[in-house]
Amino acid sequence: MNHGSYSDAYIAGILKRVRTFAFVGASANTSRPSYFAMKYLIAKGYKVIPVNPGHDGGDILGQKVFAKLEDIEEPVDVVDVFRNSQAALEITRSAIALKDKLGISVVWMQLSVRNDAAAAEAEAAGLEVVMNRCPKIEYGRLSGEIGWMGYNSGTVSSRRPLLVPGGVQRHTIGK
């Protein structure tokens, strides 16, 4: 797969199908990107499990924090990497090792996080991979919400959004 560019259908397909993210590198600091991405996805109906050894046993946005992926016992669809590119390989290897136990199907690396070796290992293990993208931004872009917030996407279109905003309707798609 070309990880320099993803089709809207690929990203939308993942966001429609998944229900639970594990945010590795989640922060309790309200000014950090992981915090507001987590808050946004929860508002859209996703479950987000924060992973951060410095906050183990605490909570972020009402969600229990785990020290590492291996401590999570409930199903996880997406491992979202909020760490640097070098850390992505180790996190991806943990996701691969846990994919059957937790049901992991996607490794998602945040903006500016790219690790081609991690992507190759994940894909070889049957996982989907997204790099250098944020699910919050992608959801907003594909649902049309990003334009509602005053962001000029540079595109004028009468095409219907790929995602239905509001979460409730999104979760009924395909049921």
pLDDT in tens, 57-78: 999 999 999 999 999 999 999 9
- Report the pLDDT value the prediction gives residue 128, as an integer from 0 to 100: 98
- Residues 107 and 126: their CA atoms lie apart, in Å, by 11
Nearest 5°: phi and psi at 128? -85, 150
State the Cα angle at 18 between 86 and 171, rounded to 5°: 150
175 pLDDT exceeds 70? Answer: no
- Report the pLDDT value the prediction gives residue 144, as an integer from 0 to 100: 83
Q: Are 19 and 76 in contact (CB under 8 A)?
A: no
55 pLDDT exceeds 80? Answer: yes
CB-count exposure of residue 76 (10 Å: 0-12, 13-18, 19+): buried
116 pLDDT exceeds 50? Answer: yes
Percent of the chain with pLDDT over 90: 80
Q: Closest by alpha carbon to 53, among 76, 83, 92, 20? A: 83
pLDDT tens by residue, 69-113: 999 999 999 999 999 999 999 999 999 999 999 999 999 999 999
Q: How many CB atoms lie within 10 A of CB 173?
A: 10
Bigger pLDDT: 121 vs 146:
121
- Report the pLDDT value the prediction gives residue 1, as an integer from 0 to 100: 87
Protein fold of 8-170? Rossmann fold (3.40.50)
Domain range summary for the chain, segments of one domain joined by +: 8-170
Bigger pLDDT: 121 vs 164:
121
Q: Are 51 and 22 in contact (CB under 8 A)?
A: yes
